[in-house]
Amino acid sequence: MKASGFEVIDLGFDVAPQKFVEETQNSKPNILGMSALLTTTVVNMDTTIRELEKAKMREQVRVIIGGARIDEEYARKIGADASAKDAVEGVAICKKWVSTR
């Protein structure tokens, strides 16, 4: 994303859902990206989206997810706006989003 001109705030790994909410409230990004490389962490994506909804932040940010065992069906199920199979596809989706805003 950085190489494609996006400003990126990297929260690191093993990030609690509430940390995503706090950073979204503080930074007000257009896009929130999450990646889960371990199947056991995938469930936190759903929790993060629910926490964004509780904080009334979900309508203000588009969510894209990727990583192990992530597909479009799972993205729809948890309420993400998109999933990407790799970084190239993720960048293309995000570029499309910012060009239509």
pLDDT digits (tens, 9 = 90+) for 28-40: 999 999 998 887 7
The percent of residues above 70 in pLDDT, for the chain, comes to 99
Provide the 3-class DSSP secondary structure of residue 84.
Answer: strand
Identify the pLDDT of residue 61.
Answer: 97
Identify the pLDDT of residue 43.
Answer: 85
Is residue 52 within 8 A of residue 20, CB to CB? The reply is yes
Provide the 3-class DSSP secondary structure of residue 98.
Answer: helix
Name the amino acid, one letter, at 33: G
The whole-model pTM stands at 0.92
Is residue 84 within 8 A of residue 75, CB to CB? The reply is no
Question: What is the domain partition of the chain in residue ranges?
Answer: 2-94
Is the pLDDT reported for residue 101 higher than 70?
no
Is the pLDDT reported for residue 76 higher than 70?
yes
What is the topology classification, in CATH, of domain 2-94? Rossmann fold (3.40.50)
Identify the pLDDT of residue 26.
Answer: 96
14 DSSP 8-state letter: S
